[in-house]
């Protein structure tokens, strides 16, 4: 089982719980319908990678997200993540009405920063993502259609959560393809206070 660093310890997620279509402008950029309830899908532990892997046979797309680590069935830690998507494959699957796992849950489709204990107000959190030093995405609590604690309650209505499980809260507008050698830097803030940063270079 792959592990996630949280403060001075490690936890092994049994699953990554991903939220789709949680930002209106991202829904619009992909020409999707606005859902009436949270769109939830899973990535397995095997999706977690320490390296950001670029697509070879098919281009991969990045999606930057604010992420929460669960402990004792509560939001315990916060960090940053990239949801890696095979967009063309996802589109083909959606057209056929088929599940997304081949496009979303493959090995290497989730990379994370370390997590820190959540000791600030969730409402104060915001994220910025730079690709090759150009700002591509920004997200905050206000822009989320479904808020983190509401998402946790929704998930726990039908699924047990275990210590170390991660919620990826969805991506804002600005997603796109990336290639080998591209560099991504993400920053997580509480209001104007920098909480953590993470940089990856695609291999």
Residue 27 scores a pLDDT above 80: no
The pLDDT of 46-74, averaged and rounded, is: 96
pTM: 0.95
Residue 82 scores a pLDDT above 80: yes
Report the mean per-residue pLDDT for the chain: 95
Residue range 133-159, pLDDT digits in tens: 999 999 999 999 999 999 999 999 999
Residue range 92-112, pLDDT digits in tens: 999 999 999 999 999 999 999
C-beta separation of 55 from 84 below 8 A: no
Is residue 3 very low, low, confident or very high in pLDDT (cuts 50, 70, 90)? confident
CA distance 161 to 76: 12
Which domains, ranges and CATH numbers included, belong to the chain?
4-201 (3.90.850.10)
C-beta separation of 188 from 80 below 8 A: yes
CA distances for 173 relative to 43, 143, 181, angstroms? 21, 11, 23
Is residue 26 very low, low, confident or very high in pLDDT (cuts 50, 70, 90)? confident
């Amino acid at each position: 089982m792959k592990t996630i660093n949280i403060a001075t310890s490690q936890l092994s997620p049994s699953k990554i719980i991903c939220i789709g279509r949680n930002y209106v402008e991202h829904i619009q950029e992909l020409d999707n319908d606005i859902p009436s309830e949270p769109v939830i899908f899973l990535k397995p532990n095997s999706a977690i990678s320490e390296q950001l892997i670029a697509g070879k046979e098919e281009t991969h797309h990045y999606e930057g997200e604010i992420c929460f680590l669960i402990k004792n069935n509560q939001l315990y830690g916060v960090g940053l993540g990239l949801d890696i998507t095979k967009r063309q494959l996802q589109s083909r699957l959606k057209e056929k009405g088929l599940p997304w796992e081949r496009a979303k849950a493959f090995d290497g489709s989730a990379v994370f920063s370390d997590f820190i204990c959540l000791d600030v107000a969730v409402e104060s959190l915001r994220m910025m993502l730079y690709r090759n030093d150009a700002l591509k995405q920004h997200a905050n609590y206000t822009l989320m259609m479904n808020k983190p604690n509401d998402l946790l309650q929704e998930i726990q209505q039908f699924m047990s959560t275990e210590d170390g499980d991660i919620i990826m809260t969805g991506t804002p507008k600005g997603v796109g393809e990336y290639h080998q050698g591209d560099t991504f830097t993400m920053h997580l803030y509480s209001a104007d206070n920098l909480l953590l940063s993470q940089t990856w270079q695609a291999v």
